[in-house]
């Protein structure tokens, strides 16, 4: 069994911006590129993953490229000390998440779907408060179009790499 997830990677420019914070504040900095999680981690074996991959391909074919707007810096506090770029929750993002969730049938989500790009995690409460206060003043306001999604998997060292990439080619 391997661990997989489905993500959208923002442009290099937005990744670079996220990484200016992540290299200081994110314990997973070296494990995965900045991303928006569309389907959180799940386990699958080699037989299952080819069917899952085909399903993702057909979902991607029904969805247009995603218009995203990283509009502010937010936090999952008090649930966790995670700070992130809030990605405005559009009907489009909600729909692709829903389609992946329903059509893949790989476990119920652990969390409500809140589109975001993590920039800090595994902070102490004090670190969280200090950093969150600073970053909120700086803010973020980036808009762009993401035209592909990725099935990623976890390697033995804990890092994630792309298994397959799917272009979003639908009309809506």
Predicted structure pTM score: 0.94
d(CA 115, CA 61): 21
Q: What is the pLDDT of residue 39?
A: 94
Domain that holds residue 161: 2-167
Give the number of domains in the chain. 1
In a domain, 114, yes or no: yes
Q: Which two tokens stand for residue 89?
A: 């929750």
The first and second tokens of residue 30, run together, are 């070296």
- Residues with Cβ within 8 Å of 67's Cβ and at least 6 positions away in sequence, in order, are 90, 92, 143, 144, 145
Residue 128 in tokens: 């969280």
List of E strands, the chain:
2-8, 36-44, 66-75, 83-87, 116-120, 142-146, 148-154, 160-167
| Percent composition of the chain: helix, strand, coil (DSSP 3-state, to 5) | 35, 35, 35
- What pLDDT tens digit does each residue of the chain (172 aa) get? 999 999 999 999 999 999 999 999 999 999 999 999 999 999 999 889 999 999 999 999 999 999 999 999 999 999 999 999 999 999 999 999 999 999 987 877 777 899 999 999 999 999 999 999 999 999 999 999 999 999 999 999 999 999 999 999 998 6
Domain membership flag for residue 141:
yes
Of these residues, 35, 63, 128, 150, which one is catalytic? 35
**Active-site hit among 63, 116, 128, 150:** 116
Residue 69 appears among annotated catalytic residues = no
- CATH number, domain of 79, equals 3.90.1140.10
Q: Residue 105: its pLDDT value, please?
A: 78
Task: Say if 159 falls within a structural domain.
Answer: yes
pLDDT of residue 172: 66
- Told to judge if 35 belongs to the known catalytic residues of this protein, a careful annotator would answer yes
Q: Are 125 and 53 in contact (CB under 8 A)?
A: no
Does some domain include residue 172? no
Phi, psi for 80 (deg, rounded to 5): -145, 160
53 in a structural domain = yes
**In degrees rounded to 5, what are phi and psi of residue 149?**
-125, 165
Q: Report how far Cα 160 is from the mean position of its chain's Cα atoms.
A: 12
């Amino acid at each position: 069994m391997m661990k997989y997830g489905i993500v959208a990677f923002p442009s290099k420019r937005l990744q670079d911006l996220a990484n200016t914070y992540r290299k200081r504040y994110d314990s997973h900095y070296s494990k995965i590129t900045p991303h928006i999680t569309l389907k959180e981690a799940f386990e699958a074996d080699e037989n299952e993953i080819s069917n899952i991959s085909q399903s993702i391909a057909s979902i991607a074919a029904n969805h247009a490229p995603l218009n995203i707007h990283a509009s502010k810096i937010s936090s999952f506090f008090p649930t966790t000390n995670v700070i992130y770029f809030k990605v405005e929750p559009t009907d489009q993002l909600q729909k692709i998440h829903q389609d992946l969730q329903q059509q893949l049938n790989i476990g119920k989500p652990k969390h409500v779907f809140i589109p975001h790009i993590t920039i800090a995690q595994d902070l102490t409460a004090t670190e969280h408060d200090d950093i969150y206060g600073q970053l909120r003043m700086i803010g973020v306001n980036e808009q762009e179009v993401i035209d592909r999604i990725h099935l990623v998997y976890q390697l033995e060292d804990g890092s994630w790499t792309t298994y397959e990439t799917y272009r979003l080619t639908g009309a809506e």
